[in-house]
Structures are given as structure tokens and as C-alpha cells.
Amino acid sequence: MVFPIIEGRQDACNPRTVELIEKSRGIFLGGGSQIKLISALSGTPVGDAIWEHYVKGGTVCGTSAGAAALTELTLAGNEVDEEGNLVEQYIGPGLGLLDFKTLIDTHFSQRRRLYRLFVAIAGYPDIMGLGIDEDTAMIVKGEVGKVVGRGGVTFVDGRTVKFDNAEEVTKGRQLTLSALRVGMIGTGYTFNLRERELEAALSGELRTAASRPVHIVD
């Protein structure tokens, strides 16, 4: 197992690292800053090698910033930093490995990032947000992702929104949304990214509160 360190675009042009990627069975992107990670890799030989590895069926995964960088768009900011200052929200290009118009947020429940994802999706209603808890993964094969680990994955779909004031939020107004679709995927369940729905629901196995018996104990 080899862990090449890429601190900037110069490192991302190292032919030795490209060779390692070409011979590897899997690639793991670590944490840090997703913006810096994408800036360092995009349009470089190492970035291209990662893409080729993925296209040929190789495994690419990441944690924290490494996970957030995998999608078409990446999200950062819109939360308070260590000095107590609100960092401006950033939404920009990702590495584009995971499509289906998804956007990933990490450390989700632990850092209470649901509101941040709401704001992001309000601004980009065609995008689906995936909030992944710590010690949790979504393993994607084709268009289906399976959740494993200790936590869960929250999905936020903005296509059903009937009203939002996303453009006013930057002017100090509180976010207002109507008919936003939100769900949770527990460990062991599979989720269809293309359909944006649980596989159990698509196959007719959906269980609702109305279909379950109610037990009242006095």
C-alpha cells in the first residue's frame, strides 16, 4: 500500500504517481480541504490518471474532503470556523467521478450540516445532496449505493420545491423552503441515485406507518 503526498499541482504532475495509479486496484482520497484537493488535481496528469482508473472500472473512494470532491459539484463553507467567523458558502466544480447530479456533504449529523445542505440545494434545486455521517460509507456500483457503517446517509432532493428564497439568504434573510424532499438511508439499505429513491420503495417493499400495526400499552 502506497500513500503519495500531493500538496499542489507540481506533485500532481509526478510521473511516478501516475504510474502508481495506473497499476493500482483502488484509489483513496484523504481529508483536508476539498477546494484545495480539486484545485491540485484538476487538469493534471495525476487527475487524469484517477479519471482513467475510474472509467476502466477501478475503485475510487474518499473520506471527508476526499469524499466531497468526488461529485460534479463540491460544497464548502457556510459554517462557523474555529475563530467564530462565518465562512462564505462555496459551491464549485468537483472531480466529476460520481454523477447523477449529486453533491456530498460529510461529518453530517456530527457537525449538524443539514441546514447547510438545505441552503445549497435551494440554490441548485436539480442537484441531490447526500449527507454522510461519520464512520459511514455509501458504496456505489452503477446507479445503486449501499450504506454501511455506524451511521446513515441523508438525501435532500430539491426538484419538488414549490418556493424558496435562496437568492435572499445572502442578504441576511432566513432560508424559506416549501415541499423540499428529505429522507434517510440506514445502514444495510440500498438507494437508487438515478431515481433518487430507496430500492425497497422502487420494488414495492416500502413499509409505511399506516401499514404497520399500532400497539398501545397502558
Separation between Cα atoms, residue 75 and residue 121, nearest integer Å: 10
Q: What residues are labeled active site?
A: 64, 82, 107
Q: How many CA atoms lie within 13 A of 148 on its CB side?
A: 4
Closest CA to 70 of 12, 138, 136: 138
- For residues 136 and 152, the answer to whether their CB atoms sit within 8 Å is yes
**Which alpha helices (H) appear in the chain, and where do they start and end?**
15-23, 34-41, 45-55, 65-68, 114-123, 166-169, 199-202
- For residues 91 and 124, the answer to whether their CB atoms sit within 8 Å is yes
